[in-house]
Amino acid sequence: MSPSLNWQAAEKYAFSRYFVIPVQTGIQCFYILLDTRLRGYDNIRRDLQHPARLYHVLHGMTCLRAGFAIIPESDRTTTITLQRRTRNKGEVVAGEDISKLRIDKTVAASQPRKRRRLIRWIVLGCAVILLVSLYSTGVFTPAVSVETAGVTQAYPSQAFTILHASGYVVAQRKAAVASKATGRLVDLLVEEGSRVSRGSVIARLESEDVIASKDQAAANLNAAGAALEQAKAELHNADLEFKRSRELVGKGFISRTDSDAAEARYKKAVAAVGGAEASVRSAKAALQAANVAIEYTLIRAPFDAVVLTKNADIGDMVTPFGAAANAKAAVVTIADMGSLQVEVDVSESNIEKVKKGQPCEIQLDALPEKRFRGAVHMIVPTAERTKATVLVKVSFTDKDSRILPEMSAKVAFLQRPVSAAEEKPRTAVSSSAVLTKNGKTSVFLLKDDRVFETPVAAGPRLGDMTEITAGLKPGDKVVIKPSPALKSGARIKVAEH
């Protein structure tokens, strides 16, 4: 049978600190004595209205932990007897007055106190562990100022380089192609980057006037030729009459006067032929001049080259010296790519280290991942007084279509030629960043604002660099000249230069 709870009756037994709650179970009535300081009024009411929780209260003595005491009814007026015959801590003795009922709260009250003490110790331990971990990671220590350097790709040739110099790629054969004649540009057959061969037409100027002059010269040549033929015919006739007159004058058939006239006519014919021949030669020269004038209207490439710049467009006036307003002197600029060399300035104090034919290694800023083999082609026998330098020309051993005039270049003058095995780059770092302790090699690797000691495998030295075969990759940052007091995991700040 489920117990019934008379809550209104329970409220009649309410005290300022305790509640005595009557509970009817069958023919027996129980009173529940509870301490309101340990359990709230609403919580007790909710528990006792639920049958399952009420059975737990009545039949399980764990209710004492919550400040409960179970008391069977023996007297409905002033006395209450206990259900259990043994006196336990926190229970009421039979026969005591209800107003004197008390519950020993030491068991119930000591539990929250111990729990709070345990929580305080746990929180304190966590705080100590947190402080120790933060201290070990350097949160409370100031950042160390360090210098850093990057891990790069280095070439073995750095180990036997004796001198560095910088300069530019220059084409040794370069021309600004212009016309010898003055005229309007009517055709442009190339553009930047076009490859031209020697003698090929690059552009054409207007040529109608010179073509007309050529036709006139050709006609004059034909007329001179006809006059020459006529003169030769006259000469032939005069020659025959002159010979005949000499025979007749010897026989006395004609007078001496007639013979002299025939001789004069013959000499005149000879002179006429000479004049006609001169006229023919003059007409031929005029025709040749007309042909040359026409050729001047055709702008041709002087050698095999590549067009670098286009300086004029169709419709522009082109004149040899470009003196006229809005006139162009050069149509295009071309360069022979096979004549490219690097021109560098070498200090006078170091020029003795450079010899003609000395092996070199060329690096272009436009192609930083590539090294080109070269050799000293010429040491120009004069110095630049304002810079105290001597011009040195370095030729390319290996040709590459990516090399262009006016590119920036750096030249390393070597002690010996570079072998095939030394042409590939290797991962390297500044030698001042490599530490050796107890036979182990390491570096301080920068990650965010901290450094961590990282073991690496070091190879041979490459000049002021050291090859790293394992442990680092190009682009990493490491500390150079690390202080002995620097620890792994320490916070750092990069020194400003």
Q: Is 266 a domain residue?
A: yes
Strands 327-328 and 317-318: parallel
Q: Which strand (E) or helix (H) includes residue 443?
A: strand 440-447
Give the total number of structural domains in the chain.
5
Tokens 């009545």 -> residue: 58
- pTM, whole model, 2 decimals? 0.55
Residue range(s) defining the domain that contains residue 53: 4-104
- Whether the CB-CB separation of 262 and 248 falls below 8 Å is answered with no
Q: Where are the beta strands (DSSP E) in 94-158?
A: 144-150, 152-154
My answer on whether 367 and 415 are in the same domain is: yes
91 shares a domain with 36: yes
What pLDDT, on a 0 to 100 scale, did the predictor assign at position 364?
A: 94
- Comparing CA positions, the residue from 14, 72, 78 lying closest to residue 44 is 14
Q: Are residues 16 and 96 in the same domain?
A: yes
> 156 phi and psi, to 5 degrees?
-60, -20
pLDDT at 496: 58
Amino acid at 297: T
Same domain for 279 and 240?
yes
CB 490 within 8 A of CB 144: yes
* CA atoms of 72 and 63, how far apart (whole Å): 15
Which residues contact residue 304 at a Cβ distance below 8 angstroms, ignoring those fewer than 6 apart? 195, 196, 197, 198, 336, 338
Instruction: Put the strands of the sheet holding 426-430 in their side by side order.
Output: 152-154, 426-430, 465-470, 457-462
Q: What is the pLDDT of residue 111?
A: 58
Q: Residue 267: its pLDDT value, please?
A: 87
Q: Are residues 191 and 328 in the same domain?
A: yes
Q: Could you give the 3-state DSSP secondary structure of residue 214?
A: helix
Residues 199 and 305 in one domain: yes
So what's the pLDDT on residue 437?
84
In this predicted structure, what is the pLDDT of residue 136? 63
In a shared domain, residues 27 and 97: yes
- Specify if 59 maps to a domain: yes
> Which CATH number covers residue 196?
2.40.50.100
Query: For position 43, what pLDDT does the model report?
Result: 57
Residue 124 resides in a domain: no
The pLDDT, as a whole number, for residue 330 is 87
Q: What pLDDT score was predicted for residue 50?
A: 54
Blockwise average pLDDT, block size 10, the chain, 497 residues = 46 44 49 49 54 47 40 38 37 44 49 72 84 64 74 80 93 90 90 93 91 91 90 86 80 78 86 89 92 91 93 87 65 93 94 94 90 93 92 93 92 89 80 84 84 84 81 84 79 68
Asked if residue 430 belongs to a domain, the reply is: yes
